[in-house]
Amino acid sequence: MPIWTYIFLMARAATTSDAFNAVAEPQRRRILVLLKGRERPVNELARALRITQPRTSKHLRVLREVGLVRVREAGQQRLYGLDARGLQPVHEWVIGFEQYWNENFDRLNEYVKRLQQKEHADGKRR
Amino acid sequence: MPIWTYIFLMARAATTSDAFNAVAEPQRRRILVLLKGRERPVNELARALRITQPRTSKHLRVLREVGLVRVREAGQQRLYGLDARGLQPVHEWVIGFEQYWNENFDRLNEYVKRLQQKEHADGKRR
DNA sequence: TTGACATATGCCGATATGGACATATATTTT
DNA sequence: AAAATATATGTCCATATCGGCATATGTCAA
């Protein structure tokens, strides 16, 4: 089977591994919150979240891969610390909508929008 | 098979369907950006994103289910409009990290953190 | 009514994901 | 060295997800 077939078949999903994705998982969000202020070892996080240690390690791995946490060896333990810089893009994207969630969708507003839409639709009609 | 067995087996993933998740998908983010300012019909979105219409409809369904867009029938078309209120929780969560991504990880900072960590570890030792 | 257009949905295939469990690896303690 | 502790990883299972394609549904025009 030629390589391009393989590539073609592979070209499906590719959701993985950016800050947006890392943060989509509730447990991972909780981990990040727990890491505010100070580093913590894996077991402590697992206990705090009431989840198993392997699961915790896997979430930490994802967070590590997208650069939201960093690890530091400390004897037997691995101390995970927050590196929030990766959250900045998320913030920047979301803040771009601030004016819209404050918007009051009153009738006039809607009316104007519909007019605009109508114009647009007519204009584009081919 | 007793019902609890079923429930037990079911209790696996549950990632689905909140704003965090909806926004984790790049195409869906692009859709939301396109909907800033004015409503758009599905086909227009599909064309703008260079993706198929069914795919667009499916993304829109997710966005609709989490309440980030609303639909309005307009003859043959369905006009999708932004409802950014659902993004507010995302913003609130992320903004809680603002002080940390500005943080400069200098040596003193680290030193203090490590001291705290050590104290904590010693204190918890059982 | 028929046909064109707009949209939603069902099905399939491939892959990603999350969790549980067992186990491998590394470090410290005895 | 052996045991205890801390963590990472591999395997298995069930499900979610994304994409393409075909098609169903609904609306408007001729």
Cβ(A17)–Cβ(A66) below 8 Å: yes
Which of A5-19, A41-55, B51-65, B95-109 has the least mean pLDDT? A5-19
Number of domain units in chain B:
1
Q: Say how far apart CA A60 and CA A110 lie, in whole Å.
A: 45
Residue A24 lies in a domain: yes
Encode pLDDT of B57-88 as tens digits. Answer: 999 999 999 999 999 999 999 999 999 999 99
Whether the pLDDT of residue B112 is over 60: the answer is no
Residue A29 lies in a domain: yes
Q: What is the pLDDT of residue A126?
A: 31
Q: What is the mean pLDDT of chain B?
A: 80
Supply the CATH number for residue B46's domain. 1.10.10.10
DSSP E strand stretches across chain B: 40-41, 69-74, 77-82
Region B91-112: mean pLDDT is 76
Residue A10 lies in a domain: no
Residue A119 lies in a domain: yes
Q: What is the pLDDT of residue B14?
A: 45
Q: What is the mean pLDDT of chain A?
A: 80
Q: Which residues of B touch A (CB under 8 A)?
A: 15, 20-21, 23-25, 29, 32-33, 36, 38-41, 44, 74, 77, 79, 81-88, 90-91, 93-98, 100-101, 103, 105, 113-114, 116-117, 120-121, 124
Encode pLDDT of A42-81 as tens digits. Answer: 999 999 999 999 999 999 999 999 999 999 999 999 999 9
Residue A106 lies in a domain: yes
Q: What percent of chain B has pLDDT over 70?
A: 68
User: What 3-state class would DSSP assign to B49?
Assistant: helix
Question: Residue B89 sits in which domain range?
Answer: 3-124
